[in-house]
């Protein structure tokens, strides 16, 4: 008997997976929808659990974190006491029940019905909460994902329309009533149709010859750090669950004390290096998550580890910390996934990256909290398709902040950003670069540079990488250099006095 039930369950599961038969959704594929106003996939609908109830099939749909339900730090109406909510249903609700008659009932905050087997001119009650009815007004042959298929057009009494495809499910659905805005099916993951949500092998897809330059800034409570890593991919091996790259390049590390008594690792160190980088795929790999998906920050996210949540008195809190994926196309139209909210608190002097915490383990309400419960704790990361991790900010509470940024990259014959020439990176072993005797900020800059030094400065000059002097307005009383009119690029600032010469690399954004 148990064997018979198992066989029936497997048959029904496979039936839903491989045959739509006017069904709205099936149990194993991911359906990607995009709002008319969005340039990326807005929602991914999938079944996260499945059960049988007599002759009915019940699908439980995935839910998301909603931070538009309340104002949040960094939002249009930022505040300190705001909250978000998790487990919010998407536009197809949380639960859908399939009846043998062809009726599909979607329930959660609403109660919606689609009669998938209805014929032309058939009418039924679609939304019992809003008292909106539906009528089949057209049955046509159309092209869906380049395939010829039957499509039903369903007109609602609100004036909105739904479209249901026999082989591909729900291909059009209104975004609220009367707004002339629609969710449209743009891809199905399980069948490799249309657009798909970028995943691990998209984000970490580098090619031999690709070049990257990363810039790290920050430091501890005692030392400032400025570090650059410039490398080229020289080999690539793809495995079922990972990608292994061999790289070679230049590593340059600059470190100087904040306080005169501080002891830092080194003032300047630079060398050529070769190494391997192995990226591993898994279900918890952040790059595999979809738009608005929530996750627990107390768990390991690839290349980012979130420490346990402590309150300001040092007590460990048992409640989890959450955040969610934000997916968008950047200014270069590169698909991007990120997490973390940066909230500026000027009186503290640092950005404060806040997350959500649960006041009770079974609560869906997410209140804003500092990671660690102490101001200054920051954890953010950004991943871009074909570039991997491009930005990472880590601030372990009162111990300084480390910021990791992809400043330039070459993919094929295209270069974005400005690479630092090898000659500049290798320069300075004997040249006092980044010594604590002179400091410039902000760097990179798009305006004025401020020069801080304990040494007497008699002359300040700016040179390009060809060694040519470039015009720059110097105010010796304020010790500033105006760079606003300079074109973007890399320059060398040279300061001299009492027979000494100091040089600093300056990046004009």
Question: Which DSSP string corresponds to 312-364?
Answer: TTSPBP-S-EEEE-EEEE-TT--EEEEE-EEEEETTTTEEEEEEEE-SSTT--
Q: How far is CA 428 from the centre of its chain?
A: 37
CA-wise closest residue to 166 among 180, 186, 145 = 145
Q: Would you state the pLDDT for residue 143?
A: 97
Task: At 295, list the tokens.
Answer: 């996750």
> Would you say 456 and 499 are in contact if contact means Cβ atoms under 8 Å apart?
no
350 Cβ partners below 8 Å, 6+ apart?
375, 376, 378, 395, 401
> Would you say 57 and 42 are in contact if contact means Cβ atoms under 8 Å apart?
no
CA-wise closest residue to 457 among 417, 405, 494 = 494
Task: At 269, list the tokens.
Answer: 């160190």
Task: At 452, list the tokens.
Answer: 């801080």
CA-wise closest residue to 175 among 90, 106, 112 = 90
Q: What is the mean pLDDT of each run of 10 residues along the chain (509 residues)?
A: 39 45 91 95 95 94 81 50 82 94 93 96 97 98 97 98 97 95 96 94 97 85 81 96 96 75 67 90 89 78 54 49 87 88 44 66 75 56 93 66 87 89 66 53 83 80 81 86 86 77 77
CA-wise closest residue to 299 among 288, 309, 310, 291 = 309
Q: Would you state the pLDDT for residue 418?
A: 83
Distance in angstroms (rounded) separating the CA atoms of residues 97 and 107: 8
Q: Would you state the pLDDT for residue 431?
A: 40
Q: Would you state the pLDDT for residue 429?
A: 39
DSSP 8-state class, residue 373: G
302 Cβ partners below 8 Å, 6+ apart?
279, 280, 284, 285, 286, 287
Bridge partner residues of 415 (DSSP): 410
Bridge partner residues of 134 (DSSP): 124, 156
- Of all helices (H) and strands (E), which one includes residue 365? strand 365-370
In terms of C-beta density within 10 A (0-12 exposed, 13-18 middle, 19 or more buried), how is residue 67 classed?
Answer: buried
Q: How far apart are the first and last CA of the chain?
A: 72
**Hey, what domains does the chain have and what are their CATH numbers?**
2-81+88-185 (no CATH), 198-431 (no CATH), 437-508 (2.60.40.10)
CA-wise closest residue to 470 among 460, 478, 458 = 460
Q: How far is CA 270 from the centre of its chain?
A: 32
Q: Would you state the pLDDT for residue 420?
A: 83
Distance in angstroms (rounded) separating the CA atoms of residues 304 and 292: 19
pTM of the model: 0.76
């Amino acid at each position: 008997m148990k064997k018979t039930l198992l066989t029936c369950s497997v048959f029904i599961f496979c039936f839903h997976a491989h045959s739509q038969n006017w069904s709205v959704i099936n149990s194993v594929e991911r359906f990607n929808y995009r709002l008319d106003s969005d340039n990326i996939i807005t929602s991914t609908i999938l079944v996260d659990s499945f059960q049988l109830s007599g002759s009915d099939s019940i699908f439980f749909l995935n839910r998301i974190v909603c931070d538009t339900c309340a104002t949040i730090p960094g939002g249009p109406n930022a505040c300190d006491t705001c909250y978000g909510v998790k487990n919010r249903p998407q536009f197809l609700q949380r639960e859908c029940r399939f009846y043998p008659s062809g009726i599909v009932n979607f329930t959660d905050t609403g109660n919606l019905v689609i009669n998938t087997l209805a014929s032309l001119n058939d009418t039924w009650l679609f939304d019992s909460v809003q008292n909106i009815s539906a009528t089949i007004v057209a049955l046509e042959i159309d092209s869906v994902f380049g395939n010829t298929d039957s499509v039903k057009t369903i007109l609602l009494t609100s004036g909105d329309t739904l479209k249901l495809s026999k082989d591909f499910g729900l291909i059009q659905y209104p975004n609220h009533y009367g707004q002339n805005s629609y969710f449209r099916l743009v891809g199905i993951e399980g069948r490799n149709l249309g657009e798909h949500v970028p995943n691990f092998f998209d984000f970490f897809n580098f090619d031999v010859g690709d070049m990257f330059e990363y810039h790290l800034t920050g430091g501890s409570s005692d030392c400032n750090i400025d570090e650059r890593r410039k490398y080229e991919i020289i080999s690539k091996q793809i495995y079922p669950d990972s990608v292994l790259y061999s790289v070679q390049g230049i590593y340059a590390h600059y470190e100087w004390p904040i306080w005169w008594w501080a002891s830092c690792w080194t003032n300047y160190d630079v060398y050529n290096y070769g190494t391997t980088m192995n990226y591993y795929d898994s279900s918890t790999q952040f790059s595999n998550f979809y738009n608005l998906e929530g996750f627990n920050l107390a768990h390991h996210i690839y290349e980012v580890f979130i420490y346990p949540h402590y309150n300001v008195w040092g007590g460990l809190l048992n409640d989890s910390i959450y955040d969610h994926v934000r997916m968008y196309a950047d200014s270069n139209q590169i698909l991007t996934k990120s997490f973390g909210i940066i909230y500026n608190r000027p009186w503290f002097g640092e950005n404060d990256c806040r997350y959500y915490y649960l006041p009770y383990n079974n609560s869906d309400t997410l209140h804003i909290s500092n990671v660690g419960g102490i101001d200054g704790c920051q954890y953010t990361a950004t991943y871009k398709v074909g570039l991997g991790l491009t930005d990472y900010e880590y601030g372990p509470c009162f111990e300084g902040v480390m910021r990791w940024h992809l400043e330039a990259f070459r993919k094929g014959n295209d270069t974005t950003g400005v690479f630092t020439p090898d000659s500049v990176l290798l320069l300075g072993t004997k040249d006092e670069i980044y010594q604590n005797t002179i400091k410039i900020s902000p760097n990179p800059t798009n305006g004025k540079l401020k020069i801080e030094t304990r040494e007497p400065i008699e002359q300040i000059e700016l040179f390009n990488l060809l060694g040519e002097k470039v015009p720059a307005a110097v105010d010796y009383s304020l010790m500033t250099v105006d760079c606003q009119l300079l074109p973007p690029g890399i320059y060398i600032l040279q300061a001299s006095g009492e027979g000494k010469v100091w040089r600093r690399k300056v990046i004009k954004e």
